[in-house]
Amino acid sequence: MNARPIGEFTIVSTEGTARVGRLETAHGAFSTPAFMPVGTQGTVKGVTPRDLKELGAEIVLSNTYHLHVRPGDELIRDLGGLHKFMGWDGPILTDSGGFQVFSLSKLRKISDEAVVFQSHVDGAQIVFTPEKVIRIQENLGVDIMMVLDECAPHDASRAEVEAAVIRTSKWAKQSLLARARPESLAFGIIQGGMHHDLRERSLAEICALGFDGHAIGGLSVGEPIPLMRELVERFAGELPSEKPRYLMGVGTPQDIVHAVKHGIDMFDCVMPTRSARFGRLFTGSGHINIRNAEHRRSDEPILAGCDCYTCQNFSRAYLSHLIHVNEVLGIQLATLHNLRFYERLMADIRHSITEKTFGTFSAKYLS
């Protein structure tokens, strides 16, 4: 049983606007700033839950839309919930399907009442209302539910973005009214595209509703990085300071350090796992492509001093060989390294804030 109430967010340390915190959930607490490995289908590709624990992950992300389509949220409920189903006993956050409103735009129609998808699997009609999205996530039994929102493309017209803001606020209210499991925390999502005044409007409307946490959505959807960072700088600090702040879908290690500097607490991105599948490995000064010829005879690890299983046991030459012959182990070892790199980055960020050295750390990292 939790010693602290579910949903309690404690600020442990600060340096400027960067902060270290701890959020209590029904499946334990996790420290922030936190990076959530992405397990869209109920698994983080290429690694086991045991691996995730050893890598330092405390919370993972899964996806409402995809788990509803396959194998079905009611099946998962009947089998004991998503934690038991996927063998992960720590906190789980689920995206609402709002990103699929963006990414599957050719397979959906949207109105003020619902999003109607044509299933990407078999073409069947799937109707998502705000209430249904809450019910799916409660069937899954997750710790943090994201409410249904509309994520507009970065190049959408102002009229389209304004309509998305209005719809997102309407759906947020409906979502809160539909909640039946208070132990599943609910986060509201700020939209508004690249328009400062629409972001201000969305932020004011969403933050007035009493969510357990707040997210900045609608970024990392194709806009230039300087514009994304400008919006983070402008709006992160306006989110309520007493609740966790989540920047959805971001991103590179540099983007994470930049966002932490401006007060963001939670992150997710497919980059470490997706990059691993293509042989791109993080080193702290960019990345290497293990497919390149220069690595084929190298007995060096991916990153000297890295404590991941891959770097402690295998050479670049071995990984290059595995990737070139399409062995699954190559992807697994690359994924272990990239995820450990991200989780170690978060641990270093938390340590530097606690020790009041984050200013130096971030300046060096961002340079």
Catalytic positions are 95, 268
What is the C-alpha separation between 332 and 47, in angstroms, rounded? 7
Q: Which two tokens stand for residue 266?
A: 């939670």
CB-based burial of residue 127 (10 Å sphere; 0-12 exposed, 13-18 middle, 19+ buried)? exposed
HEC profile for the chain?
Answer: CCCCCCCCEEEEEEECCEEEEEEEECCEEEEECEEECECCCCCCCCCCHHHHHHHCCCCEEEEHHHHHHCCCHHHHHHCCCHHHHHCCCCCEEEECCHHHHHHCHHHEEECCCCEEEECCCCCCEEEECHHHHHHHHHHHCCCEEECCCCCCCCCCCHHHHHHHHHHHHHHHHHHHHHCCCCCCEEEEEECCCCCHHHHHHHHHHHHCCCCCEEEECCCCCCCCHHHHHHHHHHHHHHCCCCCCEEECCCCCHHHHHHHHHCCCCEEECCHHHHHHHCCEEECCCCEEECCCHHHCCCCCCCCCCCCCHHHHHCCHHHHHHHHHCCCHHHHHHHHHHHHHHHHHHHHHHHHHHHCCCHHHHHHHHHC
CB half-sphere exposure, 206, CA atoms < 13 A:
34
